[in-house]
Amino acid sequence: MAIHQTALVDPAANIDPSVEIGAYSVIGPNVRIGADTTIGPHVVIEGNTTIGSSNHIFQFASIGAAPQDKKYAGEPTQLIIGDNNTIREFVTINLGTVQDGGITRLGSNNWIMAYVHIAHDCQLGDNIILANNATLAGHVHLEDWVFLGGFTSVHQFCRIGAHAMTAFTAAVSQDVPPFVTAAGNRAAPAGINSEGLKRRGFSSDQIAAIKRGYRIVYRSGQPLEEAKASLQQEEQNSPAAAPYLKQLREFIDASPRGIIR
């Protein structure tokens, strides 16, 4: 185990022998770190925190600190981080609270840039990119392949669907459906994330069908209930894209905060 002599690692921490820990880092007693993970210098990892394998956490990150929630009273909540994540400088990721499920969760293969804040009880999937200074309030859910532009802020309890993206400085106060690009303060729909879909192997026919779905929701002038019925009809007309149109429709149907419009 390559632990710098100045690092403070609690003897009760469960750390794989292949883990590297840099100078002056502090690892608490309830921390578990998986194989081939690299912890840079001056990192603090505390709380009931589980980190998977092959992660790289850069200097000055704060992982597993108490939630920034006045209701938190020291309950034994958790932070769970998956595999192969890059977590850059000055990132803060907090524990969950008992007012939610008690767990903050970051999936795998995510790229978290400098100064990002992931608050208590956030649930993040896989293959997400959070650009510099993106800020997630408590209880935010991000599905797989989300991209948040720099200085994006997301209001508590918002959900952002798979393959959605936000522009620089977007302020998100309602749910962003899958595939949609959101921009502005307050964030409004600005088309679909077509370039991201191309990079992930979506066919031109599938992207065209998703664009038609977007126009149904945002450009047809239909009330939302009618738009959902039209989306269902579009699923039948576009079998190659039907799973994605269904994903869009079901996200809208299940949105507790309402979607950006």
State both tokens at 55: 């992660």
Pick the catalytic residue: 42, 117, 120, 141?
A: 120
Listed residue (5, 32, 33) closest to 18, CA to CA: 33
Pairing of the two strands 2-3 and 129-130: unpaired
Listed residue (74, 70, 66, 138) closest to 95, CA to CA: 66
State both tokens at 30: 């309830």
Q: Is 120 a catalytic residue?
A: yes
Pairing of the two strands 129-130 and 147-148: parallel
Q: Is 16 a catalytic residue?
A: no
State both tokens at 181: 């690009």
Phi and psi angles of residue 192, each rounded to the nearest 5 degrees, phi first: -110, 165
Cα separations in angstroms, 63 against 28, 114, 120, 255: 10, 13, 11, 30
Pick the catalytic residue: 138, 149, 161, 196?
A: 138
Cα end-to-end span (Å), the chain:
52
Pick the catalytic residue: 121, 141, 150, 155?
A: 121
Catalytic residues: 120-121, 138
